[in-house]
Structure 1
Amino acid sequence: MNNELSLPVPVIIVEDEPLIQKRLTDILINIGYSISNLRFAQNLAQAKEQLLLHSASFALVDLGLPDGNGIEFIEILKNYDPTITILVISAWSTEDAILNALSAGATGYVLKERDDLEVSLSIKSVLRGGAPIDPFIAQKILKQLQLNEKFTTNKPSNEQKTNDSETVLSKREMGILELVSQGLSNKEIADQLSLSRYTVESHIKHIYRKLAVCNRAKAIDTARQLGLLD
């Protein structure tokens, strides 16, 4: 075992692809883990069951699961133990996926396409208390932060509020966000605006991405903090 690391156990590996699951297992064993301390789940239901049966001190989580999204399990883990270390290892590289995972409580995020050495270094980093972020992902986050920075420096005036809201959110997105804040469902919004439900869902996803949030309540709260909603 690597004496440089204090290895938290047990570990839950949430990954539906057998080859990736084996790859991560080999990397963890190389770091110093014993196979007896590893718990495996191929879907969200199994992950929840493993947590109930064995608890967890560390988790490697994929986002694209057959029965749901790994972000849901990240939220469950953080409710179970706010201090738990979670490293996302996923093929997903969209801003929505990245920001939602980090907002949910992921400690770090690395892409599956990285080689074993890079993945191993990310795992070691997170175990030492770091927050490793894939360089490709870091560039996306920086762009998002630069976008948000405009709205955190000073509280906008009414005139600035109008200009800023149009910069961050389109007029259509602002209209939809206003209806979301009134408690309307996606279907009700679609009916009121004579849009398809798919179009409304697409707009809401864009709103989440632009505001760096992962659900309706956070979108409303963030929009109010930014002065986009009264």
Structure 2
Amino acid sequence: MSGLETILPVPVLIVEDEDLIQERLRHILNGMGYDNDVLIFAKNLKEAFLQIEQQPISLALVDLGLPDGNGVELIEKLRAQDSSALILVISAWSTQASLFSAIKAGATGYVLKERDDAEVRLAIRSILRGGAPIDPFIAQEILKQISASVITGSNDDKSLESEVALLTNRETEILDLVAQGMSNKEIAEQLFVSKYTVESHIKHIYRKLAVTKRTKAVSAARSLGIL
């Protein structure tokens, strides 16, 4: 790595299911001095979990919307394994709920995929230097809502977050049945739909609430006032 081994943490785990984004991140990291032999790619949670079981990860670039679940689950695992690991979320999800969930799980920073290469590179460099970069768009939205709360004298963030993570009537109905302890099959029978339809709705619920488990979805919905 051109004599930069002492300052660039390795190996680097890139968790991203889109080939074009993988190549984009490879190009960015190569430009920062990383060789391909220290870059590990995973397209889903299953592959990522296998990789972190085989070796410790110093730097991870993680997408949240993965084919088999939410990247937050991986972030929790990485943080549990190594409290000093550097974890940057690079995601298309721009909601406060997604940001808060990732940071709470242990992410070091959060940047949107829509940013150009220079901005993504800047976020990575910031983390390497001990920073905690947050995408400007999300930061601005948070500041706007804090400002609005100060002006109105309101300290209630639940209504603001519930707008971000708004569920459809059907999703709310299904989540309510989940909260009652019903299985996907039981929910499908009660609503006269297929089990696959229920599973699809639940995946959408997970995505909107930035969670990976039924119990967490119910808990998040209750905290947001949805249930």
Q: Same fold (TM over 0.5)?
A: yes
Distance 2:176 2:143 in 1: 27
Q: CA deviation at 1:118?
A: 0.5
Deviation at 1:120, TM superposition (A): 0.7
Match of residue 216 from structure 1: 214
Q: Distance in 2 between the 1:19 and 1:171 partners?
A: 35
Query: Which residue of structure 1 lines up, in the alignment, with residue 51 of structure 2?
Result: 50
Q: Residues 47 and 207 of structure 1: is their aligned pair in 2 closer, same or farther, counting only changes over 3 Å?
A: closer
Change (3 A) 1:53 1:206: closer
SS at match of 2:130: coil
Tell me if the contact between 2:11 and 2:57 (Cα under 8 Å) persists in the aligned partners: yes
**What is the correspondence of 1:115-134 to structure 2 with a 5 Å cutoff?**
115-134=116-135
* Alignment partner, residue 107 of structure 2: 106
Q: 1:130-177: CA deviations, max 9, x gaps? A: 33232334456668888995267xxxxxxxxxxx9xxx7787666544
Distance 1:69-1:189 versus aligned 2 partners, 3 A rule: closer
Change (3 A) 1:206 1:180: same
Q: Distance in 1 between matches of 2:102 and 2:47?
A: 19
Question: Structure 1 regions of 5+ residues with no counterpart?
Answer: 153-163
- 1-structure distance, mates of 2:46, 2:175: 32
- 1:183 corresponds in structure 2 to 181
Partner residue, 2:201:
202
Deviates more, 1:107-116 or 1:200-209: 200-209
Q: Distance in 2 between matches of 1:31 and 1:69?
A: 30
Does the 8 A contact of 1:179 with 1:189 survive in 2? yes
Aligned position for 2:68: 68
Match of 2:42 in 1: 41
Alpha-carbon distance between aligned partners in 2 of 1:69 and 1:169, rounded to the nearest angstrom: 18
CA contact (8 A) 1:103 1:214 kept: no
Residue type matched to 1:76 in 2? K
Aligned to 2:190: 192
Mapped partners of 1:19, 1:170: distance in 2: 32
1:177-207 Cα offsets, whole Å, 9 max, x none, are 4432232123322323445553685378458
Deviation of 1:58 (Å): 1.0
What is the DSSP-based 3-state SS (H/G/I as helix, E as strand, rest coil) of the residue aligned with 2:90? strand
Indicate the residue corresponding to 2:82 in structure 1. Answer: 81
Q: Which moved more, 1:26-35 or 1:171-180?
A: 171-180
Question: 2: CA distance between counterparts of 1:42 and 1:169?
Answer: 28
The AA in structure 1 aligned to 2:24 is R
Q: State the identity as a percent.
A: 53
Residues 108 and 126 in structure 1, CA contact (< 8 A), matched pair in contact too:
yes
1:65-120: per-residue Cα shift (whole Å, max 9, x none)? 5x534614334323333442211223x33649934544544332323332221111
Q: Would you say the 8 A contact 1:208–1:215 is kept in 2?
A: no
So what's the TM-score if we normalise by structure 2?
0.65
| Counterpart contact for 1:207–1:219, Cα < 8 Å | yes
Q: Give TM-score scaled by structure 1 length.
A: 0.64
Q: What is the alpha-carbon distance in structure 2 between the residues aligned to residue 56 and residue 207 of structure 1?
A: 26
Provide the aligned C-alpha RMSD in A. Answer: 4.4
Note the alpha carbon deviations across 1:31-73, whole angstroms, 9 max, x for none: 34454433333444443333233320110123455x5346143
Cα distance in structure 2, aligned partners of 1:74 and 1:37: 20
Which 10-residue stretch deviates more, 6-15 or 169-178? Answer: 169-178
